[in-house]
Amino acid sequence: MKVVVLGTAAGGGVPQWNCACGPCAAVRSGRLPARTQDAVAVSGDGVRWWLVNASPDIGAQLAATPDLAPGPGPRDTPVRGVLCTDAELDHTLGLGVLRGAPGLTVHAPAAVLHALAPTRAVLGTYGEWEWRQVEPGQPFELAGGVEVTAFGVGGKRPRYAADAPGPWVVAYRFRDPATGGVLLYAPCLASWPDGFDALVAEADVVLLDGTFHGPAEMGAATGRPSGQAAMGHLPIADSLPRLRRHPSTRRIYTHLNNTNPVLDPASPEHAEVTAAGAEVVPDGTVIALQPALGG
């Protein structure tokens, strides 16, 4: 199983268009690299690829990834569909960017499909897509030979969406039946749910919510009361001690907010993450899951 980390930033990317915080200024000055909004691409055979989340950056991410280049025909694409972890605009607006590809399949929990009903109606005028409901805890197989299981990890409903039974946020476990390699992708994690340690322990690689380093970070960085606690993201300061319990798993933080000091490799916060054995990787990182080599 091959994984491409298409993007590693939270909503708006880094730099964010309306922010002059330290990391955003550092990117504009050229001291730090820019980051697009979080997503990964997964393939079991290197031919058929599945996107996990589709932000407004998805077009640029596809164009920057050789494995996802169109062909061999003039309108062929290796992209077979999308899996949504939630219904937030940062993870679903890119579905409209993909409207020119007929026959895609979108997998999502029931609440997410409910929220996306207007989007589904619009996209239906461009071409026929298949929308499949994901049932947490029930494995299913993707074309290309990857087994997927969703796990409910949160109930945060987007502002625009009407209420519906959750879960509203899921993590996905991808397993390669041929090698036994396991990827756990959890870019949005409001807390550390019961049983989550077991999921991390069995994974070769985990990409985990690293939106904020500390619980009051956004307000301190922007000079405004942040409302950060209501955004549904467990800070690194809380998750890192838990990740220390799993040294055999490759642990990578993603969904990094533009205010997060771990974006700067020279920061003490970044040093803390790496000292614990976790990573902050750039956009475009390729991961080949080979369990015998530890991921």
pLDDT in tens, 122-136: 999 999 999 999 999
Q: Could you report the per-residue pLDDT of 222-255, keeping only the tens digit for each?
A: 556 656 555 668 999 999 999 999 999 999 999 9
Q: In the predicted model, what is the mean pLDDT of the chain? A: 94
Cβ pair 84, 53 in contact under 8 A: yes
The order of strands in the sheet holding 2-7 is: 130-134, 105-109, 79-83, 49-52, 39-43, 2-7, 286-288
Closest CA to 111 of 158, 149, 151, 148: 158
The pLDDT of residue 214: 86
Going from the N-terminus, what domains does the chain have, and what CATH number goes with each? 2-293 (3.60.15.10)
Average of per-residue pLDDT across 263-285: 98
The pLDDT of residue 215: 82
Lowest mean pLDDT among 74-83, 143-152, 219-228, 274-283: 219-228
The pLDDT of residue 217: 75
Confidence category of residue 221, pLDDT binned at 50, 70, 90: low
pLDDT: which is higher, 221 or 261:
261
The pLDDT of residue 155: 92
Average of per-residue pLDDT across 39-49: 97
Residue 89 is encoded by which pair of tokens?
């605009």
Strand 105-109 and strand 182-186: pairing?
unpaired
Q: Is the pLDDT of residue 290 over 80?
A: no
Lowest mean pLDDT among 107-111, 114-118, 215-219: 215-219
Q: Is the pLDDT of residue 92 over 60?
A: yes
Percent of the chain scored above 90 by pLDDT? 91
Q: What are phi and psi of 175, to 5 degrees?
A: -125, 130
The pLDDT of residue 119: 97
CA distances (Å), 133 to each of 6, 54, 105, 225, 290, in order? 24, 17, 11, 38, 30
Q: Is the pLDDT of residue 109 over 80?
A: yes
Q: Could you report the per-residue pLDDT of 171-215, keeping only the tens digit for each?
A: 999 999 999 999 999 999 999 999 999 999 999 999 999 999 988
Q: Is the pLDDT of residue 294 over 50?
A: no
Residue 144 is encoded by which pair of tokens?
């290309």
Q: Which long-range contacts (CB under 8 A, 24 or more apart) does 136-141 make?
A: 136/109, 136/167, 136/170, 140/107
The pLDDT of residue 292: 43
